[in-house]
Structure formats: C-alpha cells, structure tokens
Structure 1
C-alpha cells in the first residue's frame, strides 16, 4: 500500500479511529490493532511477503530470549546471535543478491576458461526487506551486548518488526528507541498530532510534486542520454538529484508524521543534506538511520578511525562500499559507495571530518553567503555521484558522463517537455527556499505557526494541498522500495 494512494487515504483514518477508541483498554489491544494494520498494509503488495516477516519475527524473538538466558555462557549466547544474524542475512542474500553473485561468478570463470552454466532464478524482491532485516538484527545485537532486555511479549515484538509507518523504507529504528514505546501507555496529544499532519503534508509535497515530476524528466534524459547535449545531461542529473531527495525524505517525513498520529516518536532520517558544507556532513544528514546503523554495527567494531592511518582508510572504504551494496545488487551502487569514500578520505586524513557539527549558517543571510561556496561544492560532488546510482550499468554511467563533457555542454538544454519542466524547476526552487528558512529545524513546517499568521499559514497549507492534488497522476512507488 502506497502512502500516496487512495487506499492509504481510506486505511489511515480507519486505523487511527479504531486505535484511539481503545485508549482506555489494556495496552495490548492497541498493539494488536497496530499489528493487524501493519500486516494488512504490507500484505497489500503481495500476501506471500508476510511469511518472510513472520519468519524473521519468530527467529529473532526466540533468539533474543535465548541470548539473554545464556548470557553467562558466552559461547551459547553467541551461537544464538549467529543464528539470528545468519537467518536474516541469509534471507536478504537469497532474495536480493543471489542472482548478482551467480552471474558474476559465472562471468569470472569465463575469463579463466571455465563455463559453469549456472542459471539465475526468477526471484521477486520483497518490498523493504533490507530495512526490516537490519532493524531486527539490531535488536539481537543489542540484547547480546546487554544494551537491551529481551522482549517476552510476542505481540509488541511483532509490531516493532512490522510497524507500518516505517516498515518498507525506514527510518531503520533501533530497538532501544522504538520497542519501549510499545510497552508504554499512549495518550493522544493534539499538538503532536498537528505536527504529524504538517509533516505528512510536507512529505507528500516532496514526493508527489517534487519527486514524481522530476522523475518524468530524469527518466527521459537518462534513458535516451545519447540523444542529448551535455547541458541537458547535467539537467537530467539535477532532476534525479531532487527526485531521490524528494522521494526518500518525503517518505521519511510521512512515516514520522503518521507515527506521531499514533503517539510514537521515530528517529529523524534527513536533516536537509543538500545544504551540507562537506561530504562528511552530508552523510550525517542523509539517510541518518542507515548511516548510524553502519557506524555503530560495522565501522566502530572494525576499529573506526582509531589505530593506524591504514586501518582508518580501510574502515572508511568498507563502510561506504557495504553501504553502496546495501542499496542494490549492481556494480553501480558499489562504485557510488566507493566514490563517496574517495570524497570522504581527504577530510578523514586531515582530521576535518567533524568540523561541521553545528547549525547551518546560524548567523543568517551573511553567514549563508560565506558558506555558499562550500555548500555548492559539496552539492556538485553529490550530483556527480548520483549519476552512478541512477545508471543501469557502469557502461551507462560512463557513457552519460562522457556525454556531459562535449561541445554541447555550452549549449542550452533542450528536450521534450521543456515548458512543463519549467514548472517543476519552480517547484524545486520553492522547496529549497522553504527548507532553507527551516534548515536548523526538524522539518520544513515545524515552526510555521510561530512564523506566519493564521490566514497566511492556512493559505500555505491549502496551496500545498492544491499543488499535490494537481500533480497526482498514476501512483508512483517510492524509489527505496526496491532496496
């Protein structure tokens, strides 16, 4: 079920009313409602996917209890942790990476004169499998490390795994943050619900008005890149840059906003990353839940930046390459991850990777002008890297990049639909202006009630709703559903 669908527009109010009608009942009743709603929400794509979530839930539920039970016997405790990790990674590998590995091993053997005659499988990738497997693995690891007591309530644990607002594209929640919220009595908070609706509205604007409109032109230019001049190809890369941001950060805003309607607090997943002043700051602001997951469960256990320079460099490349591969079974994602590691390395080696930890341009306009060159430089590096992320293959990416650096680079862009695309550019500019004025807040509309009078505020709401309504067309899936 898509957030930007009529089905969800009917589904959400019904679940909301039933859920809060049970506020005076035992807490378990509300958790049961959320569990049923979450399974219905996920099964809307394909009911067969529910079996995988159920398997992952039962394995990690039992593993968590066993890990804690045998914590005095380290070998046994570690065994159950390994069972949990191998089960989750095994499912993820089979559904997402099996064909990739088979094909690449086959190609490698051909180079040495061997023909394995292996065959790939027609595997349907379950929506959001990378997200919920990482979420359940963090639970098992945290129980093993003693950061969390195991959950003995199967219902609340099952809701933690399948919580529908963030199930298919995050944020990837840590058990230490989200799970205790299923144990606590929830009270309806009107102010928090209003904030949730505002965040949903802004997320829908970014998805429907920005991402879906940008996708039309990004797809057109990337799919037929040999027909266009260099300036048009740059414009195509820019369209994709704002498509993926509007799509993924829009999903995160909607997910967090929907969770607030039910009395839950999810972690922030985006912090205006395109205003970053270097690539290290970008990765602290982009897909925060994944970046911090890899930092805590991969980078730090490997030693982080401690030790020799070689180890710090190795760990940096490991974290970025693994992050790239997490996104998909294609060499383009691995190159994208490696390219970001190359961007990051000079900052690490010069010990400048943590110099931008504070607010962006806190001094207002003058400060913003001073920081603009660093912001634009980081943005250009990011746009270039996105070419590999969007391309179908390394050859496609390389051909696209070569097409940019031709004589046509200095010609005006030209492609079918230029007039309509101008409106999309205006929408992107509107988003940038609104997000810039809120660059140090949680999301763009968070303090709109203190900045605008009531008439202007409602004019803004209705304007966004109108833009969303007139931009609605065929329902477009979110990009990160494929991951």
Structure 2
C-alpha cells in the first residue's frame, strides 16, 4: 500500500495510520509501548497507534542512514542559530523583565514579532530533535513545522504546518466529530479553546485562543466567497499573487497580536498598549474603565 497523501510513492506513516492491523497487534503490551515510547512521549510528534505498531515489526525504510545523519546535521546548525539569537537578540528578556512597559507600541510589536520567530525556532528544534531520535529507532512520524512561519499566506496553512501532527489529531478526533467544514465557523471556537486548555488552563491562553478565532472568522468567510475564483490570465495571476502576499502580511500581523496577548503583555496589558496607541495615559484609562 503506497501513500496517496504525500505522493512519495513510498509506504509512509500517512498510509500506515489508515491501514488496519491484525488482531494480535492490539495488545496491552504494544499499547503501553506506544504510550511510553520516549521520543514521542516526552515532546515528539503525534503518530497514530496503527502507524506506530506497524513499524515495530518493519522499521521505516524511507530514510537511509545518510539521510538521517543529514537530518541530524541540519538540527545542529539550527541549534547554533538559536544560540546566536539568544546571545544577540534580547526579545524574551524584554518580556520576562517587563521592560516592554517603557517602550513605544511600535517597539512592542517588533518585540512580539521577534518572540514569535524565536518560539517557531524553539519548537522547531524540540520537535525535530525527537523526530530524529524516532527515525534512528526505526519509527517515522509526521514532520512538524514543514514550512517557515513567514511562508504561510493564511492562518489555516499556518496552523496546519505549526504543530502538524497535533493538527491531524485534532482534525480526526475533535474537528470532524463537531461537524467538520459544515460547521467550521462554530467548531473552530471549540477546537482552539481545547488547544488552549491542553497547553495550560490560564486566562491569557484562553484569550489567545479566542483572539485567534476572531482573526480566523473573516478569513473563512472570504475564502468561502473566493473558492470559485480561478486566475487564468497573466494579470489575474499577478493580482492573485499580490493578494496572497497581502494575506500573508495580515496573517503574520494577526499572529503577532494574538502572541502579544498570550505571551507578552497579557489580557490586562493590552489595555495599556491600546491606550498608548490612542495617545492616552494607560494607567488612568484602565482606572477609569474599572470605575
């Protein structure tokens, strides 16, 4: 059985997770091994039980030893990159030390963008390290973050590639049972609230989830009207490319705003920030608001 999802012509985890197993594979010992397999249990990508159990007897053959070594070398180079960023770009120090309160709104947004890029690279390293460990053990798993954060023209493609394996799990076990695309405008609120609670039950994460949904709704509506549009002429393709570039800028800006609430200023700090942008005294504005 060859994979019809990634079109690689190989038997990869996409095909294996849909392929049934013999009854003797569904044992408590195998399931316990699936739950506690170190590369996946600690912080690795999410893979289905069927794909995992099928590779216990027949380890993955899509990656040769040389390819796995190159994969590990690329991880080392990216690790050196984040070390350079940590020493010379102090975005996270501004957030932890609360010095953002002394900066202008424009500078705060720049810091938010830097934190977003740092988070992308941090999770990139975490997930690829454990996937590398899994490949060495003969188990192929989905690749999280297959594309750069700046190469996502819309929020949907961003979330499909950020934590790609978790996204597939959410689609199968949460999104589709809620009605899938037939109830997309409603189901995304449940999905993102679940994701926020899955990370940690904090108000700032719930705010992050709901703010992301607010940015997601207009995109869904626009896409529903533009699905029938097919650019055929040179001018049409040019306009379509420029609109995608604008959409990509809006996507990154939306992620920056959501990131500000979730990881930088918090729900209360956004009031002070908005007051500064309106050229008002932040503390006085918040005080009057609560009165």
After TM superposition, the score normalised by the length of structure 1 is 0.45
- Going from structure 1 to structure 2, the CA distance change for 1:373 and 1:191 (only over 3 Å counts) comes to same
Give the whole-Å Cα distance in 2 for the aligned partners of 1:153 and 1:214.
50
Whether the 8 Å contact between 1:207 and 1:251 is mirrored in structure 2 is: no
Give the whole-Å Cα distance in 1 for the aligned partners of 2:278 and 2:137.
51
Q: Which residue of 2 aligns with 1:171?
A: 45
Q: 2:31 aligned with 1:157, yes or no?
A: yes
- Going from structure 1 to structure 2, the CA distance change for 1:369 and 1:300 (only over 3 Å counts) comes to closer
Q: Which residue of 2 aligns with 1:241?
A: 116
Whether the 8 Å contact between 2:59 and 2:139 is mirrored in structure 1 is: no
Q: Deviations over 1:270-314 (max 9, x none)?
A: 1223311111221122111222211110111111122xxxx4322
**Rg comparison, structure with higher value:** 1
Give the whole-Å Cα distance in 2 for the aligned partners of 1:236 and 1:152.
50
Equivalent in 191, 196, 212 of residue 340 of structure 1: 212
Whether the 8 Å contact between 1:192 and 1:261 is mirrored in structure 2 is: no
Give the whole-Å Cα distance in 2 for the aligned partners of 1:289 and 1:394.
29
Whether the 8 Å contact between 1:344 and 1:353 is mirrored in structure 2 is: no
Alignment of 1:19-418 (within 5 A): 149=23, 151-152=26-27, 154=29, 156-185=30-59, 189-205=64-80, 207-210=82-85, 212-213=86-87, 216-221=90-95, 223-272=98-147, 273-306=149-182, 311-352=183-224, 370=242, 371-391=244-264, 393-403=266-276, 406=279
- Going from structure 1 to structure 2, the CA distance change for 1:215 and 1:153 (only over 3 Å counts) comes to farther
Give the whole-Å Cα distance in 2 for the aligned partners of 1:279 and 1:176.
30
- Going from structure 1 to structure 2, the CA distance change for 1:403 and 1:254 (only over 3 Å counts) comes to farther
- Going from structure 1 to structure 2, the CA distance change for 1:289 and 1:403 (only over 3 Å counts) comes to farther
Whether the 8 Å contact between 1:198 and 1:257 is mirrored in structure 2 is: no
The offset of 1:323, in angstroms, is: 1.6
Whether the 8 Å contact between 1:218 and 1:240 is mirrored in structure 2 is: yes
The offset of 1:177, in angstroms, is: 2.1
The offset of 1:319, in angstroms, is: 1.2
Give the whole-Å Cα distance in 1 for the aligned partners of 2:36 and 2:177.
28
Q: CA RMSD in A?
A: 3.3
Give the whole-Å Cα distance in 1 for the aligned partners of 2:222 and 2:110.
33
Whether the 8 Å contact between 1:339 and 1:385 is mirrored in structure 2 is: yes
Whether the 8 Å contact between 1:197 and 1:258 is mirrored in structure 2 is: no
Q: Deviations over 1:435-471 (max 9, x none)?
A: xxxxxxxxxxxxxxxxxxxxxxxxxxxxxxxxxxxxx
Whether the 8 Å contact between 1:196 and 1:259 is mirrored in structure 2 is: no
Unaligned runs of 5+ in 2: 1-16, 228-237, 281-291
Q: Deviations over 1:88-111 (max 9, x none)?
A: xxxxxxxxxxxxxxxxxxxxxxxx
- Going from structure 1 to structure 2, the CA distance change for 1:396 and 1:201 (only over 3 Å counts) comes to same
After TM superposition, the score normalised by the length of structure 2 is 0.72
- Going from structure 1 to structure 2, the CA distance change for 1:283 and 1:226 (only over 3 Å counts) comes to same
Give the whole-Å Cα distance in 2 for the aligned partners of 1:395 and 1:198.
43
Whether the 8 Å contact between 2:31 and 2:49 is mirrored in structure 1 is: no
Whether the 8 Å contact between 1:230 and 1:405 is mirrored in structure 2 is: no
Whether the 8 Å contact between 2:113 and 2:256 is mirrored in structure 1 is: yes
- Going from structure 1 to structure 2, the CA distance change for 1:330 and 1:404 (only over 3 Å counts) comes to farther
- Going from structure 1 to structure 2, the CA distance change for 1:225 and 1:404 (only over 3 Å counts) comes to farther
- Going from structure 1 to structure 2, the CA distance change for 1:153 and 1:349 (only over 3 Å counts) comes to same
Whether the 8 Å contact between 2:179 and 2:187 is mirrored in structure 1 is: yes
The offset of 1:209, in angstroms, is: 3.5
Q: Which residue of 2 aligns with 1:25?
A: none
The offset of 1:390, in angstroms, is: 0.3
- Going from structure 1 to structure 2, the CA distance change for 1:288 and 1:213 (only over 3 Å counts) comes to farther
Give the whole-Å Cα distance in 1 for the aligned partners of 2:225 and 2:198.
23
